[in-house]
């Protein structure tokens, strides 16, 4: 599989947020997106997820058979998109049924993020870090090759960040792909990196 982004640009409210974003991401690779606050890191992920329309450039998704790019990705943003009245297990059961291509059970996914003990608790009772871990557990209940993650370490303690790193590397080891925004090191092996600064001032390099 391959995700090819060429000369991507975005405008919001008549203002050019960024332009000239180009990169290629292949099976087993990770892309780390850095930049100052407001540079457009989250906006780039929203463009890739199909939530926004680019002002220019192209996004090409190849090698996933009949599955389109939106059908091939998980997106975990700042909002956890969880139903507070439902338990952690119920939230994941719903995601597993809705997304299709089931993978781990909700219980197995919660165990993987260290929250097996919270399976029957309403999400509204959980801490911010625990809620974020439930949101990350959605990555595991339905198989989708491309993970788009916006500040995935947000609200996670050191142990949970290490668990996340292992999950990301495991996904890559089976051919999965990751694009993640971050202000903190993710400690991934050999990621690509793109830094968004100002329009026409973008640099891609190996981390």
* CB neighbourhood size of 6 (10 A): 14
* pLDDT tens digits, 155-171: 999 999 999 999 999 99
The yes-or-no verdict on residue 202 having pLDDT over 60 is no
Contact (Cβ atoms closer than 8 angstroms) between residue 10 and residue 40? yes
Number of Cβ within a 10 Å radius of residue 124: 12
Q: What is the mean pLDDT of residues 98-105?
A: 95
d(CA 164, CA 155): 12
Sign of CA dihedral 67, 68, 71, 75: positive
Three-class DSSP category at 55: coil
Across the range 63-76, mean pLDDT stands at 92
- Of the candidates 152, 146, 150, the one whose C-alpha atom is nearest the C-alpha of residue 166 is 152
All CATH 3.40.50.300 domain ranges in the chain, comma separated: 1-64+145-153+166-207
Q: Pick from 143, 62, 139: which is nearest to 152 by CA? A: 139
> What pLDDT is recorded for position 65?
83
Superfamily of domain 1-64+145-153+166-207: P-loop containing nucleotide triphosphate hydrolases (3.40.50.300)
Rounded-to-integer distance, Cα 131 and Cα 66, Å: 33
Q: Considering only CA atoms, which of 6, 2, 1 is closest in space to residue 194? A: 6
pLDDT interval class at 52 (50, 70, 90): very high
Q: What gap in Å lies between CA 207 and CA 190, rounded to an integer? A: 6
- Measured distance CA(76)–CA(95) in Å, rounded: 13
Q: Mean pLDDT across the stretch 31-58? A: 93
The β-bridge relationship of strands 177-181 and 192-198 is unpaired
Under the banding of pLDDT at 50, 70 and 90, the label for residue 108 is very high
Residue 187 DSSP SS3: coil
- H-only helix segments in the chain: 41-48, 88-99, 106-112, 128-141, 158-173
**Greater pLDDT, 201 or 56:** 56
Look at the block and give the residue holding tokens 């999400």. 123
Band of residue 206 on the pLDDT scale cut at 50, 70, 90: very low
Rounded CA-CA distance 25/123 in Å is: 34
Q: Give pLDDT, residue 199.
A: 63
């Amino acid at each position: 599989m391959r995700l090819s982004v060429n000369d991507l640009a975005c405008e919001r409210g008549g203002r050019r947020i960024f332009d000239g974003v180009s990169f290629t991401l292949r099976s087993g690779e990770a892309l780390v997106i850095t930049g100052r606050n407001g540079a457009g890191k989250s906006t780039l992920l929203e463009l890739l997820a199909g939530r926004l329309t680019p002002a220019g450039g192209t996004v090409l998704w190849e090698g996933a058979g009949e599955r389109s790019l939106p059908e091939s990705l998980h997106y975990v943003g700042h909002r956890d998109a969880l139903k507070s009245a439902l338990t952690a297990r119920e939230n994941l059961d719903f995601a597993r049924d809705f997304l299709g291509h089931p993978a781990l059970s909700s219980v197995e996914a919660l165990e993987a993020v260290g929250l097996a003990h919270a399976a029957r608790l309403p999400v509204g009772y959980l801490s911010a870090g625990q809620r974020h871990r439930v949101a990350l557990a959605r990555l595991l209940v339905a198989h989708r090759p491309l993970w788009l993650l916006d500040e995935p370490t947000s609200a996670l303690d050191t142990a949970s960040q290490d668990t996340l790193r292992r999950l990301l590397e495991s996904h890559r080891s089976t051919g999965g792909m990751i694009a993640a925004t971050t202000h903190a090191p993710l400690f991934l092996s050999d990621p690509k990196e793109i830094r968004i600064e100002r329009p026409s001032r973008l640099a891609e390099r190996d981390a």
